[in-house]
Structure 1
Amino acid sequence: MRDRYDPLEIEPRWQERWKQANAFRLKGGRPKLYVLEMLPYPSGRIHMGHVRNYSIGDALARFRRMQGFDVLHPMGWDAFGLPAENAAIKQKTHPARWTWSNIAHMRSQLRRMGYSYDWDREVATCHAGYYRWQQSIFIRMFEKGLVYRKGGSVNYCPKDATVLANEQVVGGRCWRCGTGVEERDLEQWFVRITDYAERLLEGLDTLEGCWPDAIVTMQRNWIGKSVGCEIRFPLEASLDGQAEIAVFTTRPDTLFGVTSLSLAAEHPMALPLARQGGHEDDVRAFAQRARKAGAQAREAGEVPIEGVSTGAFARHPLTGERLPVYVASFVLMQYGTGAVMAVPAHDSRDFVLARTLGLPVKVVIQPPEGPLDPATMMDAYEGPGTMAASAGFDGLPSEEGKLAVIEELERQGKGRKAVRFRIRDWLISRQRFWGAPIPMLYCERCGIVPEREDRLPIILPEDVEFTGVGGSPLAQHPTFTKAECPRCSGPARRETDTMDTFVDSSWYFLRYLSPRYEKGPVDPGAAAALMPIDQYIGGAEHATGHLIYSRFFHRMLRDMGIVPANLPEEPFTRLVCQGMVCMFCGREGCGRVHAMSKSHGNLVEPDAIYEKYGADTARVFILFAGPTDKDIDWTDTGVEGAHRFLQRVWRYVGDNLEALKAAGPVDPTIAAATPARRALRRITHQTIRRVETDIERFQANTAISAIMELVNAMYAFSPADDGDRAVQREAVDVVVQALSPFAPHLADELFSQLGGEGFLIDRPWPRFDADAAREDLLEIPVQVNGKLRGRITAEREEGEDAIKARALGEPNVAAHLAGRPVKKVVYVPGKIVSIVV
C-alpha cells in the first residue's frame, strides 16, 4: 500500500474494474429500487451543481445496494433544445454534431466521477430511436382527442423566435433567455392536460409526506381548483346571435353587488361589443396595450388596474338592472370564461376600478364586526359575513348564501354550479428546428391527418442551413415539407413545428426500463417489474413544469395501456429537491453570490477539482457542505478540508495495515472488558446507525460528520493486545464501508488492501449492535414538583436506590428541598427522577 493517497492512480483503476464487471447492472433475485436524478441538458460540460445532484443520488443508490436492493440507476440526456440550435447558427454546424460531441464529453466527466450508472440503459432524447416512439405517442393522443390545434393568443419570445407555455414564462420573461414575452395570435398545438386536472390534484394527497411540502403546495396552486358558479348575463342588444355574457365566480353570494361586467382584452366579444357601442378605437388601443404587457404581468399585478368602456350594456340575471360592460386590464382570457362580474364592495381590483371610473359600490355582505358604509370604504371587504341588500337572501351566512343563489339561478335557467381550474392546456409546438418533429400532415382533401406508424420516425434533415433569420429551417427546407397523405395518397404538407422539449422529458424514465425495446414506447413487463420510481432527485424549479407534465404523461400512458394499468398513477413515489451551489459572481461590478451559471461567470468545473484532488474529494465536499435541500457556498478551503479528511483515513489504514489484516473478529464479551474498547465499539455502532439514518433522510452532511468523529476516535485509541485490535479492525471496516456511498473509489481500494474481494456495493451493510451502541453513563434530569431542578450522571447498570439517593443529593435539587418533607420519589429507568414535596 502506497504511503501517499493518490486518487489519480486509484480512481481510474476502480472505474475500469466496475465497468468490466458490469457492477451496476440489475442482478435479479432482490427487491427492486429505482433511483433517478433528473437528466441533464448536454450543454458541453457538467458543473458542480450537476455534481451535487448526481452525488446525492449515487450515495443513495450505493447504500441501498448494500442494504440488499436490486437498484436501477440510469442516466441519459435531455438533448433537444434552443442552445444547440443557437450554437449551430453561431458555429455554422448542425445541432446534432454539437449535441453528440457534448454528450461524449459529459459522459466521460460523469464516468470520471465514479457514479454507479448502468450505462447500457443510456437514452438521448434527440436519438431517432427515442423520438420515433414519442411521435407514436403523439398520434395516439391525437386519435383520442388529447392533442389539438387551435389559433389564439400565445406567449412569444422575440429573441428565441418561438412560443412558450405558461409555465415557461417567469415574471413576464422567457424562462431561458430572460427576454420580455409578447402575446401574439398563432395556430398552435395543445395537449389537453386540463382533462387530467382533477386526477392530478387528487394525486397530490398521496404525495404528502413523500414530496417536499412546498412542491405539493405549488402544484395545488398551479392546478388551482375553484368551485363556484357560471352565471349568464343577458346582453341588452344581442351581438351576431350572441345574446349573453357568461361569467364564472366563486362568490355567487355577492351577485346582488354587481355594478358592471369586465372582459379580458382577448375576449372574442370585446371588439364586436365596442364596435356596436361606438368605442372600437378606444377598446382596440387598450387591448393592444394590455396584450403587450403580457398575461403574467397582468395576473401578478404588475400592470395598473385600468378599464375602458365598450359602450355596451348587459342585464342583471335576477334583478334586470342595467350593467355597463368594460374591458379591464386584470381580467385574463385563460381563467374562467374571460369575463368577470364586478363587485367593487367585495373585490379589491373591482374596487380600484370602480373608484377610477366612478362606478357605484354596493355592499351586499356585512362583516361580523359591523355594517359597512360604501361612502367611507377605503378598500373592498372580501371576507365572509351575512348577505344584505340581496332581495330574498338577506340574513343568510355567506357560505349558505352561495348555495342558495346557485339553486335560484339553476331554477331560472340563468346559471349553474361549475368547477374551474387555473391550469391551462399545455402548448407544445415550437417554431424551431432542433426538436422532435410533430408527426402531422396537412392535406387539401383530408385536412389535418397523422402520419402512418410504419413511416415513423419523421427524421430531422441533415442538409440544413442555419442562418438565424426567417423562422424555422424546417419551414424553408425544400423536401422536408413535401409528403404524401396517408389517407388519399395525394400531396400533403408536413408540419414544420417541433415539440416542446418538456414533452421529451415527460416519459424518459419509462424508456430507461428497456431502451432498445422495439414493440412500443415502453416495455410493459419491465414497467410492471421496475416502476414506479422509488426516489426522484432534482431541482425545485421544475415544480410547475416537468414535475406536473410527467405526472400527467404517466397517467395518460397508463390510460392508453402503454403502461400497465395496475401500476400506481404517480410515477415518482418520493422526491427530494437539492439546493443550488453558489459562488461569488464573476462579472465585473457585481460582487454578489449567485447560483453557479455561465451567465454569472462563476462556474467551477469538476475536471479542475478532479485533476488536483480526485473525484472522491469533490463528492465528499459537495455532500458535506450543507443539508441536501439548502443552497451551499463553494469554497476552496472546504474542498481542501475534504481532501485532508480522506488522506487521514488513508494514512490510518496504511499505518496499521498489517495489524488490521491480522486482527480477528470481535468477541462481544472480550470487547466489553475495558472502558477503551467499549468506548470505541460504542461510537462504531452509533456511527452505523447514524449514517444509515442520515442517508435515508438525505442528510449526507451529518452522515459524513459521524464518520469523521469515528475516525477521530480511532486515532485516539491505542491498541495493546488482540482484543483491542479486533475492536480496532471492526471500527476501520465500518469507516471504509460507511465511506463507500460518498467516496467509493477510496473505500473499494481500502477494502481491497484489507483483504476484501469484489466491491463494497455487493457487501451487506454493517449490522448494528444496540447493546454495543448504548452509553455506559446516563444523564438523567431531576424534577421537583414537575419543574426541572438539576441533572445527574449515573452508570447504566446502577441500582434504583443509588440513583434516587444521587438525585436527592444533587446541590440545586437539595436547595429546593431544604426544609420540605419529600412525599414521593419516582425513577423512570434511564429517563427521569421525579420528586414530589
Structure 2
Amino acid sequence: MREPYDPQAIEPKWQEFWDSQRIAYVDTAQDKELYMLNMFPYPSGDLHVGHGRNYILGDCLFRYFLMNGRRVLNPMGWDAFGLPAENAAIKRNIHPREWTIANIARMKRQFRRWGILYDWDKEIASCEPEYYRWNQWLFLKMWEKGLAYRGTAPVNWCPSCRTVLANEQVVGGGCERCGTEVVQKELEQWFLRITAYADRLLEGLDRLPNWPEKVKVMQRNWIGRSVGCDVQFTVDGLGEKLTIFTTRVDTIFGATFVAIAPEHPLAEKAKATAPDADYWDFVVRLKNQTRLQREAEGGEKEGRFTGLYAENPFNGQKLPIWVANFVLMDYGTGAIMSVPAHDERDFAFARKYGLPVRVVVLGPGMDENAELSDAYTGPGKLVNSGQFSGMDWQQAQEAMASFAEANGFGEKKVRYRLRDWLISRQRYWGTPIPAIYCGDCGIVPVPEADLPVLLPTDIAFGGIEGNPLEKSPSFTQTTCPRCGKKARRETDTMDTFVDSSWYYLRFINPHVHDRMFDVERARRWMPVDIYIGGIEHAILHLMYSRFIYKVLYDFGLVPNDEPFALLFNQGMIVAKSSISGKLEKMSKSKGNVVAPDELIARYGADTERVYTLFMGPPEKEAEWTDEGVAGAHRFLQRVWALQDAVFEAGEADRDAAAAERLAVAVHRTVKKVTEDLQRFHPNTAIAAMMELANAIQEARGLVGAAAMRHAYETLLKLLHPIAPHITEELWRLLGHDSSLLRAGWPSFDEALLAKQKVTLAVQVNGKLRATVEADPGLDAERARELAARAAGRWLEGKEIVKVVHVPDKLVSFVVKG
C-alpha cells in the first residue's frame, strides 16, 4: 500500500534538497539569458498569504523557465531601512538594526517554507554600509551635476513621528504608522531634480509595450505635462503681476474670477482686505491639509474672497480673487483663471458662491444666452470674445497666445504637475545624507574618500521624539573638509525610495566593493526582463527607478535608459475584516490576516501555492476563503492517489478509444498550460491540470502502463512549478533519480490537436460576426479573448455589457455605445 500524502514530512526534505543543490545559483560573469525579479520586500517579519501572491507567482514562473532549460537570474534582498523599524525600536527600546535583522531571518524561513527558490548568493540588505555608501556616492554625483539641491517646500509632517511623510503614507489625513493628524509644514530640505527628466520619463513610456496600460496612464497623469500659456494679470491696488497658467487661453474672455492656492503669497497679503472674519483660519486649515485631501475626487469645493481683484489683460475686466481648496501651489503657478461655463470644477464653485457664468465657446446646438445646467467642456466656436469671436477654439488658442506674447503680457509655456523628489527624512534609520555645514564654507559635500558616512550605533531608543541623530554629538560634530574648522553633519537621512531605485543593478554582482555596481555585468544583464510587484508601486517606486536609471545612463554606466522591460502587477488578496465585516486588503488592523505558518502546518505549502495561484487571474483582486484552501488540498490528494493508476496498469491498452482520448487530453493540457504560464495565468493552467487528472482517472483500467505513466508524469511536470514538493516526491516514487527541475518541459503535437479543433461562433448583439477555430474544452476567459480578437471591429469603442459562453459552440457579446 502506498503511504498517505503527508506534506509535513515531504516538504522540508525537498527544501533541503534544493538548497543543497544550489538550484537557483547563476554565475552572472556569464552572458545573460533571462533576468526576472520580484520587488524586494520591507522586512516586517510577518509575511501573510497576501504577500504570497507576488512571491509564489514569481517562483512558479522561475521553475517553469528552469524546466524549459533557461538560465535565470532570480535574486532576493531586503528594503531594510525605514520608519516602521524605527518606530518599533522606540516602542520596544531596542535598536532598529536588531529588529530588522531578526525580521529578515524570519522572512527567509517563511520564503523557504513556501518552497520559493532564490539565488541567495546575491542577497542584499539596504541597511548595510556596503550598500548605502553607494546611495551617498550617487547623491554626490547628482549634486555635482546640479541634480541634487537644497530648497524649501511644504511637506506632509507628522507631529508625533516628527518626520516628513510621502503622500502614500498619509491615510485619511493621518499618519499611516501612528494615526496622528498630518499637517503641512515649510521645511528646507534636499531634493533630486526629477523634473529635468519629465519629458524623457514621458517619452520612455511609449517604448514599454509590455507594461500595463493602467500603470503608464498613472505615470503620465502624475507627470502631468500641460501645454498652455502664462498670462500676466495685474492685481488692483497692489500694482503687482499675478502670473496665471492656462491650457485653455481660448476661454479667457469667459473668466469670471481668479482662484489662488492658500500657500500663494497673495493669500497672506489679503489678511488686510478679506471681508470674512474667518478668512485666515480658513487659509490655515487648507494649508494643513495634505495634497491628497485637497485633490479628493468629489470633495466639496470651498473658498473665501480675498477682497482683491485682478485685471484680465485681454478685456480689462476686474475679476475677484478667491482662495480655493482645489488650487495647488505646486501645479502651474498656484493661481488659475476660473471659467465656470467651461470647467466643471469652476462651475460648481461659481454656483455655490453666486459668481457669474459666461459662455464663450459655443458647441453644436447651444444658445449663448441660455442658462447652463452644466459646464460645456467640448469643442466649438468662440463667442463673446472680442476680436477672436467666430474662431474655432483650437485656432483661437494659437492666435490668443501669440497676441499675449506680442503685447507683452503672456507667453506660450509647457508646465508639469511633477515636482522634484524630496528625499529628506528627519529620522535615524536611513542613509545619512553626505553633506556638512560649515560656518565659513557653507554646505560642503563629504569627499568620496570618506564614504560611507556611517550611521552611529551609540543611539538610545525608547521614548525619544524627533531625529535621534540630532542628539548624537559623535555623529553631528565634525570638521569641514575644505577649511578644517569645526562643522556639523547633515542629520536628515534619505527617503527609502532611493534605496529601491537601483537595487536591481546591485543584484547582478552584490560582492563588488569598489563601485556602485558591476558596470560590465550590468551592460550584459540589463534591463530586467520580468519585474513583478504590486500596483501600489505604480507611481513612486517605478517612477523613481526609471529616473535614477536614466541618470545612470547619462553617466555612461548602463546600456539603455529603461530598467524594466516587462512589468506585471499582481492583484491584492482580500478577506473579510473582523472589525468592519467587509472584504478588505489583509491587515492586522483589519483583523483579517491569514498567517502562512498555520496554514502550512495544517495543509502544507503546496496547498497554499495551488490555492493562491488558482484564485483567479493574478492581476485581479481575489477573495481568500477557507473553502478554497480545502478544495486545493483535495486536488493534491487526488494527484497523490493517482500514482496507483500507474502501478496497477496492465501491459497493453484494453480500449484503443480510451487510449486515444487520454493522449489527446495530455497534448491539449500541455499546450494550454504552456500558453497560460507564458501569459501569467496559472489559474487557468491549474484548471486544465484538474481536467487532465480527471482524464487519467477515467482511463484507469482501460489504458496500459506506458500510456498511463506518460500521462501521469506529464501531469507532474506541468504541476511542478505550482506544487513543487509533492511533484518532486511523486517523481522520485516513480523511480527517477534526478529533480523534476532537470526533467525538461513536456511538448505537444500540434498536428494531433489540429484534428480535434471545434468552431466557435462569435456573435455581437445577436448577429454572427466571426468564427474561431479553438481547442475543445477551452475555458470561458480564453474563449472570450479569442472571440474578442476576431470581432474586434464590432467591439471597438463599445461597452461590453455581458458575455455569454457556450463551451465549444458560442461566444456572444452584448454591447452598447
Normalised TM-score (structure 1): 0.86
Give the match for residue 250 of structure 1: 247
Residue by residue over 1:784-837, the C-alpha shift from the partner in whole angstroms, topping out at 9 and shown as x without a partner, is xx998xx9xxxx9xxxxxxxxxxxxxxxxxxxxxxxxxxxxxxxxx999xxxxx
Q: Show the counterpart of 1:506.
A: 501
Partner of 2:419: 424
Paired residue for 1:688, among 670, 677, 702? Answer: 670
Amino acid at match of 1:548: M
Tell me whether 376-385 or 706-715 shows the greater mean CA deviation.
376-385
Q: Which amino acid letter does the alignment assign opposite residue 5 of structure 1?
A: Y
Quote the offset at 1:80 in angstroms.
Answer: 1.2
Say if 2:392 is the partner of 1:404. no
Partner of 2:681: 699
SS at match of 1:513: coil
- After TM superposition, give the deviation of residue 108 of structure 1 in Å: 1.1
Q: Which amino acid aligns with 1:32?
A: E
Rounded to whole Å, the distance in 2 between the matches of 1:720 and 1:757 is 29
The residue type paired with residue 364 of structure 1 is V
**1:130-279 pair list within 5 angstroms:** 130-169=131-170, 172-177=173-178, 179-208=180-209, 210-237=210-237, 243-272=240-269, 275=272
Counterpart of 2:472?
A: 477
Q: 1:35–1:71: 8 Å Cα contact kept in structure 2?
A: yes
Matches within 5 A, 1:12-91: 12-26=12-26, 32-91=33-92
Partner residue, 1:331 = 327
Aligned to 1:738: 718
Aligned length: 772
Whichever residue aligns with residue 660 of structure 2, its letter is R
SS in 2 for 1:35: strand
Contact 2:228 2:249 in 1 (8 A): yes
Structure 1 residues 304 and 658 mapped into 2: Cα distance closer, same or farther (>3 Å)?
closer
> Residue 472 of structure 1: CA displacement?
0.8
The superposition leaves residues 186-231 of structure 1 with CA deviations (integer Å, 9 ceiling, x where unpaired) of: 11222221211211122222234x2222222222222222111111
Contact 1:27/1:70 (<8 A) preserved = no
Report if the CA contact (8 A) 2:161-2:466 is conserved. Answer: no
Indicate whether 1:679 and 2:694 are aligned. no
CA contact (8 A) 1:265 1:291 kept: yes
Aligned position for 1:631: 621
What is the distance in 2 between the residues matched to 1:308 and 1:755? 82
1:644 partner amino acid: R
Q: Kindly tell me: are residues 745 and 304 of structure 1, through their superposed partners in 2, closer, same or farther at Cα, counting changes over 3 Å?
A: closer
Distance in 1 separating the partners of 2:761 and 2:285: 70
- Residue identity opposite 2:76 in structure 1: M
**Match of residue 762 from structure 1:** 742
Give the Cα separation in 2 of the matches to 1:775 and 1:440: 72
Query: Structure 1 CA distance, aligned partners of 2:212 and 2:509?
Result: 30
Amino acid at match of 2:156: N
**Does the 8 Å contact 2:659/2:702 carry over to 1?**
no
Q: How does 1:453-532 map to 2 (within 5 A)?
A: 453-532=448-527
2:368 to 361, 372, 375: 372
* 1:805 paired residue number: none
Tell me how far 1:530 sits from its aligned partner. Answer: 1.6
* 1:607 partner letter: D
Q: Quick one: which amino acid aligns to residue 267 of structure 2? A: A
Return the letter of the residue paired with 2:290.
G
* Deviation digits for residues 456-513 of structure 1 (CA, Å, limit 9, x no counterpart): 1122222211234431111111221112222222221111111111221111111111
3-state DSSP of counterpart to 2:457? coil
* Alpha-carbon distance between aligned partners in 2 of 1:420 and 1:24, rounded to the nearest angstrom: 47
* Secondary structure of residue in 1 paired with 2:589: coil
- CA RMSD, 1 decimal: 3.0
Cα contact 1:274–1:311 (8 A) shared by 2: no
Tell me the amino acid that sits aligned with residue 731 of structure 2.
Answer: F
State the one-letter code of the partner of 2:585.
Answer: A
Q: Give the partner amino acid of 2:635.
A: F
Greater Rg over alpha carbons, structure: 1
The AA in structure 2 aligned to 1:704 is I
Q: Provide the residue aligned with 1:600 in structure 2.
A: 590
Does the aligned pair in 1 maintain the 2:646–2:708 contact within 8 Å? no
| Stretch of structure 1 that moved more, 675-684 or 648-657 | 648-657
Amino acid paired to 2:638: R
**2:99 matched to 1:98?**
yes
Q: Distance in 1 between matches of 2:297 and 2:26?
A: 53
Query: Secondary structure at 1:245's aligned position in 2?
Result: strand
SS of equivalent residue, structure 1 residue 534: strand
Displacement of 1:603 in angstroms is: 1.6
Q: Does the 8 Å contact 1:246/1:337 carry over to 2? A: yes
For residue 619 of structure 1, the aligned residue among 595, 605, 609 is 609
- Residue 824 of structure 1 is matched in structure 2 by none
What SS class does the counterpart of residue 442 from structure 1 fall into?
strand
Q: CA deviation at 1:147?
A: 1.8
Written as runs of structure 1 = structure 2, the 5 A alignment for 1:562-577 is 562=557, 564=558, 566-567=559-560, 569-577=561-569
Unpaired segments ≥5 residues, structure 2: 777-807, 811-817
Greater Cα offset, 155-164 or 411-420: 155-164
Tell me the CA shift for residue 514 of structure 1: 0.9
Indicate the residue corresponding to 2:9 in structure 1: 9
Structure 2 residue 706 is the aligned partner of structure 1 residue 726: yes
State whether residues 276 and 305 of structure 2, in contact with CA within 8 Å, keep that contact through their aligned partners in structure 1.
no
Look up the equivalent residue of 1:331 and give its one-letter code.
V
Identity over aligned pairs, percent:
49
2:742 corresponds to which letter in structure 1?
D
Corresponding residue for 2:803? Answer: none
* Distance change (3 Å), C-alpha of 1:116 and 1:369: same
Secondary structure (helix, strand or coil) at the match of 1:9 reads helix
Q: Is contact 2:258-2:322 (8 Å) kept?
A: yes
- Is contact 1:261–1:340 with CA below 8 Å preserved after alignment? yes
Q: Cα offset for 1:755? A: 3.1
Residue 576 of structure 2 corresponds to 584
Name whichever of 311-320 and 248-257 sits farther off: 311-320
Once the two structures are superposed, what CA deviation does each residue of 1:212-265 show, in whole Å capped at 9, x if it has no partner? 2222222222222211111112344556xxx41111001110122233432211
1:322 to 300, 308, 318: 318
Distance 2:653 2:585 in 1: 50
State the Cα distance separating 1:782 from its structure 2 match: 14
Paired AA for residue 292 in structure 1: N
Is the contact between residue 84 and residue 177 of structure 2 (CA under 8 Å) also seen in structure 1?
no
Contact kept in structure 2, 1:271 and 1:280, CA below 8 Å: no
Name the amino acid aligned to 2:150.
R
What CA distance in whole angstroms lies between the structure 1 residues aligned with 2:716 and 2:385? 76
In structure 2, relative to structure 1, the CA distance for the partners of 1:755 and 1:248 (3 Å cut) is same
Distance (whole Å) between structure 1 residues aligned to residue 328 and residue 121 of structure 2: 48
Counterparts of 1:453 and 1:671 in 2: how far apart (Å)?
76
User: What amino acid sits opposite 1:457 in the alignment?
Assistant: P
After TM superposition, give the deviation of residue 396 of structure 1 in Å.
0.3
Distance 2:311 2:767 in 1: 71
Deviation at 1:318, TM superposition (A): 3.1
User: Which residue type is aligned with residue 617 of structure 2?
Assistant: P
Q: What is residue 439 of structure 2 aligned with on the other side?
A: 444
Residues in 2 aligned to 1:180 and 1:153: alpha-carbon distance in whole angstroms: 16
Q: Does the aligned pair in 1 maintain the 2:436–2:480 contact within 8 Å? A: yes
CA contact (8 A) 1:44 1:102 kept: yes
Structure 1 residues 405-449: Cα deviation after superposition (integer angstroms, max 9, x where no partner)? 011112222211111111222222111111111111111111112
Cα distance in 2 between the residues matched to 1:751 and 1:217: 46
User: Post-superposition shift, 1:657?
Assistant: 4.1
Give, in angstroms, the shift of residue 399 of structure 1: 0.9
Change (3 A) 1:286 1:602: closer
Give me the whole-angstrom Cα distance separating, in 2, the residues matched to 1:177 and 1:424. Answer: 27
Q: Structure 2 vs 1, CA of residues 596 and 236 (structure 1 numbering), >3 Å: closer, same or farther? A: closer
Aligned mates of 2:172, 2:411 — CA distance in 1: 35
